[in-house]
Structure 1
C-alpha cells in the first residue's frame, strides 16, 4: 500500500479522515481503477479547524473553516468551506488530476487562514452574513 500524502498541517487543524495517498491511479483496459482503495474513492480527505473552547481543544460547530477532497471522474476536487450558523458556505475550490497541485493548494489555504485568522473570519462573516 502507498504512503499517505505528506502535508504541512498547522496547529489548530485536525484530520477527520485521510485517504489521500501519494500514488497515481492504475487503470484497467475498461477504465476502472485497479488500486481504488488507495484513495480513489469519493470521500478522500477532511480537515477541520479546531480551537480551545471552554478549556478543551475542539472543533467548533460554526464560524470555522473546513477543507475536503473528493475524487470523481479522474480528478480531485479540493473545497474550502466556511461553516456559519446558517450552514456550509463554499469559499473556493480547485479541481485537478495532479495530487501535488491539490496538496499545495491545501497548504496555501491553511497558511493563509492561520496567518491572518481574525481577518480571515471577519471576511467570511462579511461575505456570508447570517
Structure 2
C-alpha cells in the first residue's frame, strides 16, 4: 500500500494548526481536510471540476435553507470527491433548531467520521 502524502491545508486560525507543517501523511487528517475543502469551496473554483464544492458560506444569510437538500448535496459531494470516504463511512446529518429567544433558526450540519470522538459541526443562524 502506498504511503499517503498530501498538502497540509489548516490555517493559522484553526485551533489545531501546526506552524511547521507543509504536508500530511495521516489518513484521518487527510479526510478532515478533504471534507472541509469540499464544504467551503465554491462551485466553479476548481479548474476542470466545475461541480466540485458546496460553498457553505453562501448559506450564511439564507433565510430558507432546506436542511435535507443541503445534507444530500454535502453527502454526494463527499462521496464523490473525498478519497478517504471510500475507506470509511463519512455521514452528514443536517438539522434546524429553533432559537425562540432570538426569534431565529440555527442550522447545524454534523459531519461524522468514525475515528473522531466528536462530529465536525457547522453552525449557521
Please say whether Structure 1 and Structure 2 have the same fold, judged by a TM-score greater than 0.5. no
TM-score w.r.t. the length of structure 1 is 0.30
Structure with more relative contact order (C-alpha pairs < 8 Å, separation 6 or more):
1
Question: Which structure's residues are more often helix, by fraction?
Answer: 2
TM-score w.r.t. the length of structure 2 is 0.31
Question: Which structure's residues are more often strand, by fraction?
Answer: 1
